[in-house]
């Protein structure tokens, strides 16, 4: 996992991508029939997350937030969506169904497209690095480090970067979508966040030092991840020895699954577990809970390697979306007639609208 000080180095890159996100959100709002609706904002946040992590991993922009997405990038986006949809059937259906049903072949074709896209960008970066070395220039960046450190073969780099790319997309986009959804339903929490952000940054662009002064912002992300952990079930194998947990013996080699969704909604740790209550993560209003009752990024050496990047990207994006344009206050609300309160999936729906008004002094 990257250290916080290492993740800070990518704040400028992520803020540049966030600026493009804000531009696309404003364009969608102005282009809507009402001048307020944002259309399928969850899908836009998905493309934002993909652009952000790609900018770090591949050290280049791939055009996810362009008005017209490049064809090869669009094929990549489509392949990711298809892969995730078919993965449900691939993991649930028995192997004998694979020649009979379309899911397995389509799933493999999606992965081929994903890896081919990643390989193309990595190969391009390798050529750029070789040219830089010939000119005596020093290279920097995450991918440059992986290629130069010598710990991984090129084949391992191809696979690792593609999987890091996928892991970083759903965490950020899903969490931001649900955070905005709940803020749109809670005007007071929305106002409190706006007050916190503008009070810290004024008219500046939020940066890493500002985030340390935004406890409510971080609490909103934590509460969203508690309610909607991206990985709902995770598993580990007891590889070293027999272990005893809660009086139960688990022999060496046992596969142990952690139901994050269930754990983080246990009322013994979180009173009123179904409610969105960011204040439960603030020192002033927090009730004690077990430190492992909500671990959306895992823990220890097998924890999420991209956690710091994902957190930084979510914090910067939510801070800038909530801060709005200096001198104005943006009000987020659900579109009239929206029926997403019981839905677990926000993509493909027009559910969010925003209005602007001069800020009261």
Query: Which pLDDT score is estimated for 341?
Result: 40
> Does 212 or 349 have the greater pLDDT score?
212
For residue 336, give the nearest of 103, 37, 127, 88 by alpha carbon.
Answer: 37
For residue 208, give the nearest of 216, 199, 200 by alpha carbon.
Answer: 200
At 127, is the pLDDT very low, low, confident or very high (cuts 50, 70, 90)?
Answer: confident
How far is it, in rounded angstroms, from Cα 225 to Cα 24?
25
Average pLDDT value for residue range 52-76: 90
Where do the DSSP E strands lie in 139-294? 233-237, 243-245, 248-250, 255-259
pLDDT of 325 > 70? The answer is no
Query: Which pLDDT score is estimated for 328?
Result: 66
Query: Which pLDDT score is estimated for 342?
Result: 35
Residue 270 tokens read as 């979180």
How far is it, in rounded angstroms, from Cα 341 to Cα 271?
20
- Most confident range, picked from 48-57, 92-101, 167-176: 92-101
Query: Which pLDDT score is estimated for 299?
Result: 82
Query: Which of 205, 238, 263 lies at the terminal end of a domain, its last residue?
Result: 263
Query: Are 278 and 326 in a shared domain?
Result: yes
Which residue range is the domain that position 90 belongs to? Answer: 4-229+272-358
Query: Which pLDDT score is estimated for 343?
Result: 38
pLDDT of 285 > 70? The answer is no
Query: Are 123 and 244 in a shared domain?
Result: no
For residue 6, give the nearest of 142, 122, 137 by alpha carbon.
Answer: 142
pLDDT of 275 > 90? The answer is yes
Number of domains in the chain: 2
> Does 81 or 337 have the greater pLDDT score?
81
Average pLDDT value for residue range 47-75: 90
Query: Are 101 and 142 in a shared domain?
Result: yes
Query: Which pLDDT score is estimated for 357?
Result: 58
Query: Are 251 and 283 in a shared domain?
Result: no
Mean pLDDT for the chain overall: 85
Average pLDDT value for residue range 338-358: 56
Query: Which pLDDT score is estimated for 347?
Result: 54
- 149 belongs to an annotated ligand binding site: no
CB 177, CB 346: distance < 8 Å: yes
CB 58, CB 146: distance < 8 Å: no
How far is it, in rounded angstroms, from Cα 258 to Cα 234?
5
Query: Are 225 and 258 in a shared domain?
Result: no
For residue 209, give the nearest of 15, 59, 1 by alpha carbon.
Answer: 15
pLDDT of 30 > 80? The answer is yes
Average pLDDT value for residue range 216-230: 94
How far is it, in rounded angstroms, from Cα 40 to Cα 350?
5
Residue 114 tokens read as 């994903």
Query: Which of 240, 263, 286 lies at the terminal end of a domain, its last residue?
Result: 263
pLDDT of 279 > 50? The answer is yes
pLDDT of 122 > 90? The answer is no
Q: What is the dihedral of CA 324, 330, 336, 340, to 10 degrees?
A: 40
How far is it, in rounded angstroms, from Cα 345 to Cα 360?
35
pLDDT of 315 > 60? The answer is yes
At 360, is the pLDDT very low, low, confident or very high (cuts 50, 70, 90)?
Answer: low
Query: Are 21 and 151 in a shared domain?
Result: yes
How far is it, in rounded angstroms, from Cα 15 to Cα 211?
13
> Does 106 or 298 have the greater pLDDT score?
106
Of 258-262, 315-319, 323-327, the range with the lowest mean pLDDT is: 323-327
> Does 114 or 161 have the greater pLDDT score?
114
Residue 156 tokens read as 């391992």
Average pLDDT value for residue range 219-247: 89
For residue 230, give the nearest of 68, 82, 47, 46 by alpha carbon.
Answer: 46
Query: Are 323 and 238 in a shared domain?
Result: no
CB 264, CB 229: distance < 8 Å: yes
Query: Are 135 and 257 in a shared domain?
Result: no
Of 120-124, 159-163, 327-331, the range with the lowest mean pLDDT is: 327-331
How far is it, in rounded angstroms, from Cα 10 to Cα 145?
14
Query: Are 114 and 148 in a shared domain?
Result: yes
For residue 282, give the nearest of 194, 228, 217 by alpha carbon.
Answer: 217
> Does 306 or 327 have the greater pLDDT score?
306
Query: Are 134 and 33 in a shared domain?
Result: yes
**Chain-centroid distance, C-alpha 328:** 27
Please tell me the pTM assigned to this model. 0.86
Query: Which of 212, 246, 263 lies at the terminal end of a domain, its last residue?
Result: 263
Query: Are 350 and 236 in a shared domain?
Result: no
CATH number for 161? 1.10.630.10
Query: Are 126 and 246 in a shared domain?
Result: no
How far is it, in rounded angstroms, from Cα 12 to Cα 109?
35
Residue 284 tokens read as 């002033």
pLDDT of 303 > 90? The answer is no
């Amino acid at each position: 996992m990257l250290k916080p000080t290492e993740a800070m180095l990518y704040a400028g890159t992520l803020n540049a991508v966030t600026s493009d996100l804000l531009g696309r959100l404003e364009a969608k709002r102005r282009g809507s029939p009402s001048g307020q609706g944002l259309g399928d904002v969850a899908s836009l946040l998905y493309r934002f997350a993909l652009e952000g992590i790609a900018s770090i991993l591949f050290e280049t922009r791939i055009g996810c937030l362009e008005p017209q997405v490049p064809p090869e990038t669009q094929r990549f986006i489509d392949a990711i969506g298809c892969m995730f949809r078919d993965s449900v059937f691939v993991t649930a259906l028995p192997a004998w169904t694979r020649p009979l049903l379309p899911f397995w072949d389509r799933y493999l074709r999606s992965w081929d497209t994903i890896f081919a896209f990643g390989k193309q960008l990595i190969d391009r970066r390798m050529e750029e690095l070789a040219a830089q070395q010939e000119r005596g220039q020093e290279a920097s960046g995450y991918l440059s480090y992986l290629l130069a450190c010598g710990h991984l073969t090129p084949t391992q780099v191809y696979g690792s970067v593609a999987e890091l790319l996928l892991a970083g997309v759903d965490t950020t986009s899903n969490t931001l979508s649900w955070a905005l959804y709940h803020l749109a339903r809670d005007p007071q929490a929305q106002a409190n966040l706006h007050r916190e952000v503008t009070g810290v940054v004024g008219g500046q662009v939020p940066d890493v030092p500002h985030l340390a002064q935004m406890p409510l912002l971080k609490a909103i992300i934590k509460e969203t991840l508690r309610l909607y952990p991206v990985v709902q079930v995770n598993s580990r194998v007891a590889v070293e020895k027999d272990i005893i947990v809660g009086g139960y013996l688990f022999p060496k080699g046992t596969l142990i699954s952690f139901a994050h969704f269930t754990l983080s909604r246990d009322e013994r740790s979180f009173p009123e577990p179904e409610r969105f209550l960011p204040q439960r993560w603030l020192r002033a209003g927090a009730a004690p809970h077990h430190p492992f009752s909500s671990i959306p990024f895992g823990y220890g050496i097998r924890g999420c390697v991209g956690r710091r990047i994902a957190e930084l990207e979510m914090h910067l994006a939510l801070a800038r979306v909530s801060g709005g344009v200096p001198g104005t206050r943006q009000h987020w609300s659900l579109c009239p007639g929206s029926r997403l309160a019981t839905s677990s999936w926000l993509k493909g729906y027009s559910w969010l609208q925003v209005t602007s008004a001069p800020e009261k002094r």
